[in-house]
Amino acid sequence: MNRDSQEWKESYPKLLEACRALPPAHRDYLDEDYVRNLMRTVLDPRMQTAMVAKAIEHFNAQWQDRRPTLDDLEAILARFPDDHDGNVAMAQELWGYKHWTRAAMLRHLVEFFKSIGVTDEPSLRSWAQTASFADDFEGRVEGLGPTSFQWLVMRQGLERLRPDGHLHRFVKSVLDHEVTDADLVSLLTAVADELKLKPYDLDWRIWENERWRPKHPAKATE
């Protein structure tokens, strides 16, 4: 979509006003700790925010002197058998809770990322730049779906917008028609620049709008 085109002149102002109306994100999703990112990925789904925070605090308290690595995490995983009782005990050590199914998911998530060479924060950020749920995550770890994937990507604080589903839904709700991936990125990047927002900040605002107010998307005023 050319910025001099009639389509841009009609679409950009509507999206600008719709995005201007979005409140700041309720959470700062950015997390630059690799091990904590893996833990949040298995803890966040359908778990109260306060409980997730307490679980992470419990783990952090054990690593006050340095940031744990994948090797450190694997050493903990290796101490417990991969069965119900072992995963209960592991969950209690890691998080102070008995979330054994999430402990099992953590094992499988570690195995998956190791198998594709994603073993630290730089490689996780690099993977998140281009990964899609359907091609790169779906079915890899039982119990982790599109929401888990999206939260994981959002926590990387990418400096460019990705044409993910929640952005397409938002744009369609504002413009009443779909746009291409390239046009979506161009339009919303221009909006972020105008509003002096980081791309990931605008992404977070739109994510929350679509997640918690799906029946009342922000629209430009007539």
Report the 10 Å Cβ neighbour count for 71: 8
Q: Which residues of the chain have pLDDT under 50?
A: 216-222
Neighbouring residues of 206: CB distance < 8 A, sequence distance ≥ 6 = 19, 22, 166, 167, 170, 188
The answer to whether the Cα torsion of 211, 33, 184, 219 is positive or negative is: positive
Q: For the segment 34-44, what is each residue's pLDDT rounded down to a tens digit?
A: 999 999 999 98
Per-residue pLDDT at 217: 45
Q: Quick one: angle between helices 70-78 and 84-95, nearest 10?
A: 140
Report all structural domains of the chain as residue ranges with CATH numbers, in order of start: 34-156 (1.10.340.30), 159-212 (no CATH)
Alpha-carbon distance of 200 to 12, in angstroms, equals 19
Per-residue pLDDT at 45: 81
| Per-residue buried b or exposed e for 93-104, using 16+ beta carbons within 10 Å of the residue's own CB | ebbebebbebbb
Q: For the segment 16-40, what is each residue's pLDDT rounded down to a tens digit?
A: 999 999 999 987 888 999 999 999 9
**% of the chain beyond a pLDDT of 70:** 95
Per-residue pLDDT at 35: 97
Q: For the segment 45-70, what is each residue's pLDDT rounded down to a tens digit?
A: 888 889 999 999 999 999 988 899 99
